[in-house]
Amino acid sequence: MFSTLDAPPFDAEDSRAFGRLFAACVRAAQVIMFEKTFMRGSRVSEAEFHDELERLLRADPELVGRLTRRDAVAGGFDDLSHDDVIAELKVSRGAPVTVDHCVRYIGQPTQYGIGRGSQLSVLVVFDHGRKQAPPGVIDNYIDWLRPRLHGLDDTRYPSLVGVLIVNTNLPIPSTWSRRRVETAPVSSRPQPAEPSFGPESPSSDTGRGQDLHR
């Protein structure tokens, strides 16, 4: 993911700050997903999600304490910020959240980022809706979104929003043994070789014995 930022349009210091903040958000997400407070059956406010993410980020040594919350910027107030890269937080309680669904949220972090003079920002969406299937590894819920910018078709300095979806409201693992989980075909599964019943080529007895044991 971070290799995208090696391109010339992106400031090196900005890219490093984004990398620190986004990686710290991923580490925090791995904790929050399985904390009892955020498991299935809990009633959690948006402020509680924000407070817990902030707590974990402040404890992350990679950020060395450089984290602020609710700074006035771009005509509003951001959620969290690290070295001029902001993180906007959202909570969804309905249908399963995908990166494509997060398009509806990207204008806000983009404008906050511009208010900081940064092309880069982070969007963290807590998916607290009911789960009909177990979650995948967090790599499945990470991607970039690139907003179209006002008056520009060919953007020399694009804005990018790094999206992280955090699956909360998970049941305890044993719950899945009492529910049917849909499966998908494994396309890379090797197919067994078809047996050959064609005529044998002339060979020695030793060769035939080796063929039978292959």
pLDDT digits (tens, 9 = 90+) for 115-166: 999 999 999 999 999 999 999 999 999 999 999 999 998 889 999 999 999 9
Contact 211, 204 (CB under 8 A): no
Which amino acid, one-letter code, is at 126? Answer: F
Least confident of 37-41, 78-82, 192-196, 204-208: 204-208
Higher pLDDT, 6 or 122: 122
pLDDT for the residue 189: 61
Q: Which of 17, 1, 7, 46 is nearest to 168 (CA)?
A: 46
Phi-psi region of 65 (alpha: psi -120 to 50; beta: other; left: phi over 0): left
Of all residues in the chain, the percent with pLDDT exceeding 90 is: 74
Q: What mean pLDDT comes out for the span 53-82?
A: 96
Q: Which of 126, 117, 124, 116 is nearest to 161 (CA)?
A: 124
pTM: 0.84
Residue 38 pLDDT greater than 60, yes or no: yes
Q: Give the integer Cα–Cα distance in Å for 103 and 176.
A: 31
pLDDT for the residue 195: 53
Q: What mean pLDDT comes out for the span 89-107?
A: 96
Query: What angle, rounded to 10 degrees, do the helices at 12-32 and 46-59 form?
Result: 120
pLDDT for the residue 180: 87
Q: What mean pLDDT comes out for the span 27-48?
A: 93
pLDDT for the residue 13: 95
Residue 213 pLDDT greater than 60, yes or no: no
The domains of the chain are located at: 6-171
pLDDT for the residue 1: 86
Q: What mean pLDDT comes out for the span 28-39?
A: 96
Question: 94 Cβ partners below 8 Å, 6+ apart?
Answer: 129
Residue 33: CB atoms within 10 A of its CB come to 18
pLDDT for the residue 2: 86
Beta strands, E only, 16-107: 68-69, 72-73, 76-77, 80-82, 85-92
165-207 tens-digit pLDDT: 999 999 999 999 888 888 889 987 666 666 554 455 444 444 4
pLDDT for the residue 203: 46
pLDDT for the residue 192: 62
Tokens of 179: 């529910």
Contact 52, 44 (CB under 8 A): no
Residue 209 pLDDT greater than 50, yes or no: no
CA distances from residue 69 to 15, 77, 88, 137 in whole angstroms, order as listed: 20, 9, 10, 28
